[in-house]
């Protein structure tokens, strides 16, 4: 079992280009697993954790409802935003500047073969990170992701999640609002859940801007502890 995870910083990268890159890594891992089975070999599979920041984009999961996007193609163009229907779980999500997007591409055979546990661990990574900033973040029953003030009229989502897994290999991941422009969330029904607000870490802390690099390091620290992984910078 290879518990080493290669961390790659992709910088600002187009959503579709990043999706293609994810698919390439994903297929390499799946093919190696298939080859190991056929040839009865034990060549280790690799694990990755991609960090990226996307230009303004809306993505719709495979079971999502297109009507949750509230603006037209013309209005998308006016806002310098794009739209993609993707092969992850979940409904509609927004990505943009000021948001930490993380794509763990893991062979869960190296860790544990339980997709629900995987999602809960990703949520826990974010919950523990936000706790370091004095925020009590939590899960909302029946709603993937991380929230604040759950069970109150002021419930708001700070981190969205949507993953795909095949042959226990994962892709896609999470999007944590750190210095996000929340106005872009007004153009959709976030994750298809009506009447729920969205927030960002800088808003919660009353700051103009939060150090994104610092947040990334905290996320990696908690990921490594939860998954008992060795994080390696590439």
Walk me through the domains of the chain, giving residue ranges and CATH numbers.
4-233 (3.30.930.10)
pLDDT value at residue 190: 63
pLDDT value at residue 191: 56
Both structure tokens of 21: 């890159």
191 is catalytic: yes
Let me know the angle formed at the C-alpha of 25 by 98 and 99, rounded to the nearest 5 degrees: 5
Task: Give the pairing type, strands 197-198 and 156-166.
Answer: parallel
Q: From the candidates 101, 158, 180, 191, give the one annotated as an active-site residue.
A: 191
Known binding positions for substrate: 88-95, 160-162, 173-175
pLDDT value at residue 202: 98
Per-residue pLDDT of the chain (234 residues), as tens digits, is 899 999 999 999 999 999 999 999 999 999 999 999 999 999 999 999 999 999 999 988 887 888 888 888 889 889 999 998 887 877 788 999 999 999 999 999 999 999 999 999 999 999 999 999 999 999 999 888 999 999 999 999 999 998 999 999 999 999 999 999 998 888 887 655 566 789 999 999 999 999 999 999 999 999 999 999 999 998
pLDDT value at residue 67: 86
Both structure tokens of 90: 């979940």
Known binding positions: 88-95, 160-162, 173-175
3-state secondary structure string across the chain: CCCEEEEEEEEECCHHHHHHHHHHHHHHHHHHHHHHHHHCCCCCCCEEEEEEECCCEEEECCCCCHHHECCCHHHHHHCCCEEEECCCCCCEEEECCCEEEEEEECEHHHCCCCHHHHHHHHHHHHHHHHHCCCCCEEEECCEEEEEECCCCCCCEEEEEEEEEEECCEEEEEEEEECCCCHHHHHHECHHHCCCCEECCHHHHHCCCCCCHHHHHHHHHHHHHHHHCCEEEEC
CA-closest candidate to residue 22, choices 164, 119, 117, 161:
164
């Amino acid at each position: 079992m290879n518990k080493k995870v290669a961390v790659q910083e992709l910088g600002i990268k187009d959503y579709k280009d990043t999706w293609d890159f994810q698919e390439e890594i994903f297929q390499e891992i799946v093919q190696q697993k298939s080859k190991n089975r056929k040839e009865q070999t034990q060549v280790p599979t690799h694990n990755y954790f991609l960090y990226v920041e996307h230009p303004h984009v809306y993505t719709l999961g495979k079971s999502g409802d297109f009507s949750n996007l509230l603006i037209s193609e013309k209005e998308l163009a006016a806002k310098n935003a794009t739209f993609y229907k993707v092969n992850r779980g979940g409904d509609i999500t927004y990505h943009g500047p000021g948001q930490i997007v993380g794509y763990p591409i893991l062979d869960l055979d190296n860790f544990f073969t339980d997709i629900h546990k995987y999602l809960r661990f990703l949520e826990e990574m974010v919950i523990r990170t936000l706790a370091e900033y004095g925020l009590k973040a939590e899960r909302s029953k029946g709603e993937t992701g991380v929230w604040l003030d759950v069970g109150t009229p002021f419930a708001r989502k700070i981190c969205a999640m949507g993953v795909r897994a095949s042959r226990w290999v994962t892709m896609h991941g999470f999007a944590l609002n750190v210095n996000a422009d929340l106005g872009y969330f007004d153009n959709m029904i976030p994750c298809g859940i009506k009447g729920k607000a969205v927030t960002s870490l800088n808003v919660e802390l009353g700051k103009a801007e939060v150090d994104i690099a610092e947040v990334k390091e905290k996320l990696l620290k908690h990921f490594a502890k939860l998954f008992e992984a060795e994080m390696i910078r590439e």
